[in-house]
């Protein structure tokens, strides 16, 4: 092909007995935006890591400009003009943006921050970035850091830019800005690859799309000639329906009433400022906000894991006297039937133990029942089997360490366990973080089921499209304050997006 910048031929990569990429062949053309689409664990990132020198392929060839090359390290990838922006940024926090530009580059002469700054400015003007070369990384928001990463790659002369799930951490407005920049780069003749599992982004941004499923390359399309349904079916391997069924709230009863909740963190920063809201049974209350706006503190405060001031009143479903939760220990709050599942960035850290098997992970909720000093392992094992069965968890057995399971299956177990404890309030944060479409919908349905069973569901999410579709009401946080509570049935993504940045108090409000 005349304008192919990079061709991959029959690339294979194995990790132990797991085949991450199986004879993948595809090409990246000059002046195009290619979307690499696939479910979690389909081998998108592995494939691109081979291109950027992180992994070495077990088989196959890579051609750059028609010549076969061997890429043994990220530096060799740079030399070939290939730059990758990882999900976790590779920046040194205590250095400035300019210093990060030249980190690791071998150049003669003294470090001249002024020339670096000038060169950066040129790049910024050309593509429409906005970066202060002298700002330290630790003072930057996630979006700024990402910009620095992209500028860094261009500074080093990258012609092929690979972005691994770049929008996962951005607000809708920031995403729009990023897409504009990527289009500028395309116009300039650069090749852009974005790894994603969000179909709307594929449709909006890309020229072509390559789909991976379970490590195998299953198709290439021109974006204009395909549609989301076709891509989804190909990606998942069977037909799926993409609708969230939002049922009507059946006689909602007040479960939680939060009044004047405030929280000051260890650094003395006020992270929650006078939060007031109510949560009802049979309803999904969504919480939207840029990450780090107090979502975590709010949920942890309710669960008794974070010191807060103000009052958290719980109205038990049996109609008995309301209880004040603030001041109770986490154990007592769990006993009231308030379950919290929080999926952090690494997906395991806060609910599951990677090195323990499924049954032992189920035990986290139940081990303390009864008076005997010995732990009951039979009930959790049965529960594990039930969850595996009902949620279709793919696992060789219940005695397998959770870390050996793929992300989606891990999260099914986490959510499955919380639901099995039959909570009266289910708080779930980022339950679909990093999950593919198919599994995400399974999780949404599980929440809806809980709602229909009369549970008060509080759902903290990142994807605004989903929040607007799933939730009955949406509470928007901005800089630790409630900037609005809107009706999920009538609101729009844009309205919520605006509320997320409206108060001006948000630390990361740089639009």
Partner 1 sequence: MISENTKKEPLVRIAKRAELSPKKAALVRFSSIIVALLIGGLLILALGYNPISVYGGIIEGSLLTPTALKATAKIAVPLLGAALAIAPAFRMKFWNCGAEGQITVGAIASTYFALYHVGDLPAPVFFVVTFIVSAIFGGLWGLIPAFFKARWGTNETLFTLMLNYIAIGFVKYLRIGPWMDKGQMFPKVPMFDRAARLPDVFGVHIGWIIVLLLVVFTYIYMTRTKHGYEIAVVGESVSTARYSGMNVAKIIMRTMFISGAVAGIVGWMLALGTNYTLSDTTANGYGFTAIVVAWLAKLNPFVMVLISAFLAVLQKGSNSIQTNFGIPASASEVLTGLILLCMLGSEFFINYRFVFRKKSVGGDD
Can you tell me the distance from the alpha carbon of 500 to that of 89, in angstroms, rounded to the nearest whole number?
24
Q: Is 475 in the site for partner 1 (CB under 8 A)?
A: no
Q: Is 427 in the site for partner 1 (CB under 8 A)?
A: no
Long-range contacts of residues 62-67, Cβ cutoff 8 Å, at least 24 apart: 62/6, 62/7, 62/8, 62/9, 62/11, 63/4, 63/6, 63/7, 63/8, 63/9, 64/5, 64/6, 65/5, 66/4, 66/7
CB of residue 363 vs partner 1: minimum separation in angstroms?
Answer: 7
Q: Is 142 in the site for partner 1 (CB under 8 A)?
A: no
Can you tell me the distance from the alpha carbon of 344 to that of 270, in angstroms, rounded to the nearest whole number?
22
Q: Is 401 in the site for partner 1 (CB under 8 A)?
A: no
CB 428 within 8 A of CB 447: yes
- From 21-29, 30-38, 370-378, 384-392, give the range in contact with partner 1 by CB under 8 A: 370-378
Can you tell me the distance from the alpha carbon of 310 to that of 293, in angstroms, rounded to the nearest whole number?
18
Using CB under 8 A as the binding criterion, the count of chain residues that bind partner 1 stands at: 43
Q: Which of 1, 2, 17, 251 binds partner 1 (CB under 8 A)?
A: 17
Q: Which of 30, 60, 76, 385 binds partner 1 (CB under 8 A)?
A: 76
Of residues 30 and 135, the one with the C-beta less far from partner 1: 30
CB of residue 500 vs partner 1: minimum separation in angstroms?
Answer: 26
Q: Is 336 in the site for partner 1 (CB under 8 A)?
A: no
Residue in 164, 165, 167 with CA at minimum distance from that of residue 175: 167
**Residues between 277 and 306 with contacts to partner 1, criterion CB under 8 A:** 303, 305
294 SS3 class: coil
Q: How far is CA 315 from the centre of its chain?
A: 33
499 SS3 class: helix
Q: Is 355 in the site for partner 1 (CB under 8 A)?
A: yes
CB of residue 53 vs partner 1: minimum separation in angstroms?
Answer: 10
CB of residue 81 vs partner 1: minimum separation in angstroms?
Answer: 8
Q: Which two tokens stand for residue 33?
A: 């935006």
Q: Is 368 in the site for partner 1 (CB under 8 A)?
A: yes
Q: Is 334 in the site for partner 1 (CB under 8 A)?
A: yes
Can you tell me the distance from the alpha carbon of 90 to that of 69, in angstroms, rounded to the nearest whole number?
25
Of residues 245 and 332, the one with the C-beta less far from partner 1: 332
Q: Is 54 in the site for partner 1 (CB under 8 A)?
A: no
Q: Is 330 in the site for partner 1 (CB under 8 A)?
A: yes
CB 37 within 8 A of CB 211: yes
Cα–Cα distances (Å) from 404 to 15, 106, 400, in that order, read 12, 40, 7
Q: Which of 9, 213, 365, 493 binds partner 1 (CB under 8 A)?
A: 365
Q: Which of 22, 79, 220, 509 binds partner 1 (CB under 8 A)?
A: 79
Q: Is 354 in the site for partner 1 (CB under 8 A)?
A: yes
477 SS3 class: strand
Residue in 459, 495, 468, 499 with CA at minimum distance from that of residue 482: 499
Which parts of this chain interact with partner 1 (CB under 8 A)?
14-17, 56, 58, 67, 69-72, 76, 79-81, 303, 305, 329-331, 333-334, 340, 342, 344, 348-356, 360, 363-365, 367-368, 373-375
């Amino acid at each position: 092909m005349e304008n192919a910048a990079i061709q991959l031929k029959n690339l294979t990569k194995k990790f132990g007995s797991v085949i991450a990429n199986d004879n993948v062949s595809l090409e990246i053309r000059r002046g195009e935006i290619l979307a690499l689409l696939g479910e979690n664990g389909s081998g998108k990132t592995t494939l691109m890591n081979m291109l950027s020198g992180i992994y070495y392929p077990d088989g196959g060839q890579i051609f750059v400009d028609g010549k076969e090359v061997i890429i043994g390290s990220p530096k060799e990838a740079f030399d070939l003009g290939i730059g990758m922006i990882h999900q976790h940024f590779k920046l040194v926090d205590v250095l400035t943006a300019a210093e990060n530009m030249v980190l690791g580059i071998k150049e003669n002469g003294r470090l001249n921050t002024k020339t670096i700054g000038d060169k950066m400015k040129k790049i910024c003007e050309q593509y429409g970035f906005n970066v202060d070369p002298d700002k330290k990384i630790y003072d930057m928001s996630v979006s700024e850091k990402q910009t620095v990463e992209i500028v860094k790659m261009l500074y080093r002369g990258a012609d092929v830019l690979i972005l691994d799930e770049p929008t996962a951490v951005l607000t809708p407005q920031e995403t729009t800005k990023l897409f504009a920049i990527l289009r500028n780069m395309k116009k300039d003749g650069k090749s852009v690859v974005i790894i994603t599992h969000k179909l709307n982004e594929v449709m909006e941004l890309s020229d072509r799309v390559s789909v991976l499923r379970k490590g195998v390359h299953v198709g290439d399309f021109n974006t204009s000639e395909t549609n989301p349904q076709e891509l989804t079916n190909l990606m998942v391997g069977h037909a799926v329906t993409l609708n969230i069924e939002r049922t009507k709230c059946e006689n909602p009863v007040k479960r939680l009433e939060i009044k004047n909740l405030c929280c000051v963190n260890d650094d003395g920063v006020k992270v929650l400022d006078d939060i007031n809201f109510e949560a009802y049974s049979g309803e999904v209350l969504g919480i939207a906000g840029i990450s780090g706006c107090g979502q975590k503190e709010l949920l942890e405060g309710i669960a008794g894991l974070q010191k807060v001031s103000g009052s958290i009143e719980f109205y038990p479903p049996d109609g008995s006297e309301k209880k004040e939760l603030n001041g109770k220990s986490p154990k007592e709050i769990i006993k009231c039937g308030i379950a919290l599942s929080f999926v952090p960035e690494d997906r395991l850290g806060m609910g599951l133990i990677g090195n323990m098997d499924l049954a032992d992970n189920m035990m986290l909720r139940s081990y303390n029942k009864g008076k005997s000093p010995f732990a009951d392992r039979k009930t959790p094992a049965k529960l594990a089997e039930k969850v595996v069965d009902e949620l279709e968890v793919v696992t060789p057995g219940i005695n397998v360490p959770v870390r050996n399971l793929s992300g989606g299956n891990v999260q099914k177990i986490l959510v499955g366990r919380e639901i099995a404890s039959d909570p009266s309030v289910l708080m779930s944060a980022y339950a679909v973080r990093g999950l593919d479409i198919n599994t995400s919908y399974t999780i949404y349905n599980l929440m809806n089921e809980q709602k229909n069973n009369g549970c008060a569901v509080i759902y903290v999410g990142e994807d605004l499209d989903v929040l607007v579709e799933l939730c009955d009401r949406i509470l928007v946080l901005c800089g630790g304050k409630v900037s609005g509570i809107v009706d999920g049935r009538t609101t729009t993504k844009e309205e919520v997006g605006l509320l997320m940045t409206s108060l001006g108090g948000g630390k990361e409000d740089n639009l």
